[in-house]
Amino acid sequence: MASRPTVVLIPRWGSGHFMSALEAGKKLLATGDGAFSLTVLVMHAPTQEKASEVEGHVRREAASGLDIRFLQLPAVEHPTDCVDQVEFVFRYIQLHAPNVKAAIDGLAPSSRVVAVVVDFFFTALFDVAHELAVPAYVYFTSPAAFLALMLRLPALREDMTGPGFENTERALDVPGLPPVPPSCMPVCLVKSRIQNYDTFEYHGRRFMEARGVIVNTTVELEASVLAAIADGRCVPGRPAPALHAIGPVIWFEPKDGHRHECVRWLDAQPPASVVLLCFGSMGTHDAAQVREIAAGLEQSGHRFLWVLRGPPVAGTRFPSNANLDELLPEGFLEATAGRGLVWPAWAPQSEILSHAAVGGFVTHCGWNSVLESLWFGVPMVPWPLYGEQHLNAFELVAGVGVAVALEMDRKKGFFVQAAELERAVRSLMDGASEEGRKARAKASETSAEFRRAGGEGGSSCAALKRLVVEILDLS
Ligand code: UPG
C-alpha cells in the first residue's frame, strides 16, 4: 500500500499559539482536499494551567472528525537556572528534539512526512527536519513586521543593545515600516535583556533556513513589510525566505450555548457605543494604573466594558480573577452604573468584538486580538504590555492607520495618565474626531479586505493553494 502523506505540525502551548497553528493546519488540510493528513505533535506545556488548556483543545479537536492525528510527545525535564521565560522555552525545546525525531520516524511507513511546520520559537527543531530530509516551515503567529525585525536583529544589535539606547530618541530602521522610535521596540529586546536579544536573533537567523515562513497576516494589511522581506532588504546579500501570507487565521472559541453576561449587557447598549478594554491572556496592571484607568473611563463619559484581571496567580504569569472591591476606587461603579461593566474574569473576547454595540477596543495588541478586532472592523487604541506588542502598536497607528495612539510614559514603566486615556477614548469613540473617523474607516476597509483575502480568488486563499502545491511537489 502506498504510504499516505502527512504534514507534521508542532505548535507551542498557549491558546494564542496553539489554536492559531491548528487553525492554520486546518486551512492547509482543507486546501489539500484529501491529498495529505495532518499530524500534530503535542508537547507537554510547562505549567499545569497551560497543560490543561492544551488537553482541552486536543480533546475537542480530536472529536472534530477531521483528518488530524494528535500524538503526545513524552515529557522532558524542566531546564533549571534559566534567567527568564525566553531562555526556558529555548532550552525546553532543545530537550524535545530526540522525542520529535522518534515521533516522526515512528510515522513511517504508514505515513510519509511531506513537511514539518514548527512554531516560530521552535527553530531548534529544524535540525531534526534536516536530519530526516523533510522540508521545514515556520508558522509565524505574530505580524510580518515582527518577522522583519527578527530578521533584522543582527544589523540593529549595536543600536538596540548599546549604551544609551534606553535614553535615545533616534528612530530605528525596520524595512517596510516608517522609522520606529526606540520606545516602540519590543521591551523584551532592549539592552537590559541581552540574552533575549541573542535568542530572538538566533531564531531570526534560522528562519533563513526554512523552506518557507507561513505568516498570519495578509498581503493587503502588511504589503510594505512583506515586500521589504521578500526584496531582501532585511538581510541584504542573502536570499530572502519564501513568505506565505495566509491570514487572517483566527480561532473562534466555540460558544457553549449560554449567552455570557457581558454579551447580555451589550445587548442593551446602542450600536457602536461601547469601548472594550481587554489585555490578553497575561495582561495585568498594578493598583496605581488600575485607578488611573478607572478615572480615565469615568471622565471620558463613554460606555465601556472593562475586562479587569487581578494580580498574577502565585508562581505563574497568569492573572487571577479580580476582586473589584479591592481594586477599583471607591464610588467608581456607582458613578458609571448603566454605562459601564467591569468583568473580573476571562471574557469571550471575540464574541464581544463581534457585537454591534462595540465601537472600539483598547487592546494589549497581542496579534490574535488585533486580527479579531479587524475581522469585525473595530478600530483600536493600542496599550502594549510585553512581547512584541509595542511594535504591533506602532504598526497599527503609523503603518496601517487602524488605531488612535496612546501616549505612554516610557521612563515610568509605560504608565498611562487618566487624562491621556480619556483623550484617546474620546478620540476613538467621538464621531466628531477626525483621528477616530479615519481609524474606523480603515478598520472597516480592512475587515472587508480580510474577508476577501480568505475567499475564493483572494490573496490568502491563493497563497494557501501555492503552499499546498509546493508541499506536494517537494514530496
Ligand atoms: N482572550 C479571551 N478572553 C480574555 C482574554 C483573551 O477570549 O479575557 C483571547 C483573545 O480573544 C485572543 C487570545 O485570548 O484570541 C489572546 O491572544 P493574543 O491577543 O494574541 O494575546 P496573547 O495571549 O498575549 O498572545 C501571545 C503574545 C502576543 C503575540 C501572540 C501571537 O503575548 O504578544 O502577539 O501570542 O504570537
Q: Is the dihedral of CA 367, 372, 374, 379 positive or negative?
A: negative
Which has more pLDDT, 27 or 311? 27
Q: Please report, as a single letter, which amino acid is at residue 403.
A: A
pLDDT score for 311: 87
How far apart are the C-alpha atoms of 120 and 126, rounded to whole Å?
Answer: 11
pLDDT score for 192: 61
How far apart are the C-alpha atoms of 119 and 109, rounded to whole Å?
Answer: 26
Q: Is the dihedral of CA 210, 211, 215, 221 positive or negative?
A: positive
How far apart are the C-alpha atoms of 464 and 468, rounded to whole Å?
Answer: 6
Closest residue (by CA) to atom 2 of ligand 1? 349
- pLDDT higher than 90, residue 163: no
pLDDT score for 256: 80
> Which range, of 159-173, 353-367, 445-459, averages the lowest pLDDT?
159-173
Q: Which atom of ligand 1 is nearest to 283's Cα?
A: 24
pLDDT score for 257: 83
Q: Which atom of ligand 1 is nearest to 363's Cα?
A: 19
Q: Give me ligand 1 centre to Cα 17, in Å.
A: 9
Q: Which atom of ligand 1 is nearest to 14's Cα?
A: 23
> For residue 49, what are the contacts with CB-CB under 8 A and spacing of at least 6?
313, 316, 318
pLDDT score for 405: 97
pLDDT score for 318: 81
pLDDT (average), residues 322-341:
95
**Burial 244-257, CB ≥16 within 10 A → b, else e:** bbbbbbbbeeeeee
pLDDT score for 1: 54
Q: Residue 198 catalytic? A: no
Whether residue 369 has its Cβ less than 6 Å from ligand 1: yes
Q: Looking at this predicted complex, what is its ipTM?
A: 0.99
The alpha carbon of 148 is separated from its chain's Cα centroid by a whole number of angstroms, namely: 15
pLDDT, tens only, 396-425: 999 999 999 999 998 898 999 999 999 999
Report the residue among 146, 367, 371 best suited for mutation to probe ligand 1: largest number of ligand atoms under 8 A from its CB: 367
How far apart are the C-alpha atoms of 147 and 214, rounded to whole Å?
Answer: 11
**Burial 36-74, CB ≥16 within 10 A → b, else e:** bbbbbbbbbbbbeebbebbeebbeebeeeeebbebeeee
Q: Give me ligand 1 centre to Cα 183, in Å.
A: 22
How far apart are the C-alpha atoms of 133 and 122, rounded to whole Å?
Answer: 17
> Which range, of 123-132, 272-281, 316-325, averages the lowest pLDDT?
316-325
- pLDDT higher than 90, residue 226: yes
Contact 437, 431 (CB under 8 A): yes
pLDDT, tens only, 80-114: 988 888 889 999 999 999 999 999 999 988 899 99
The alpha carbon of 90 is separated from its chain's Cα centroid by a whole number of angstroms, namely: 19
pLDDT score for 339: 97
pLDDT (average), residues 114-140:
97
pLDDT score for 475: 64
pLDDT, tens only, 288-317: 999 999 999 999 999 999 999 988 888 777
Q: Which of 44, 119, 244, 355 is catalytic?
A: 119
Whether residue 347 has its Cβ less than 6 Å from ligand 1: yes
Closest residue (by CA) to atom 5 of ligand 1? 280
Q: Residue 119 catalytic? A: yes
Under DSSP, is residue 83 helix (H, G, I), strand (E, B) or coil?
Answer: coil
pLDDT, tens only, 6-15: 999 999 998 8
CA atoms within 13 A on the CB side of 262: 25
Calculate helix-pair angle for 48-62, 15-32, nearest 10 degrees: 20
- pLDDT higher than 80, residue 351: yes
pLDDT averaged over the chain? Answer: 94
- pLDDT higher than 90, residue 158: no
Whether residue 397 has its Cβ less than 6 Å from ligand 1: no
pLDDT score for 2: 64
How far apart are the C-alpha atoms of 172 and 161, rounded to whole Å?
Answer: 12
pLDDT, tens only, 232-266: 999 999 988 899 999 999 999 888 889 999 999 99
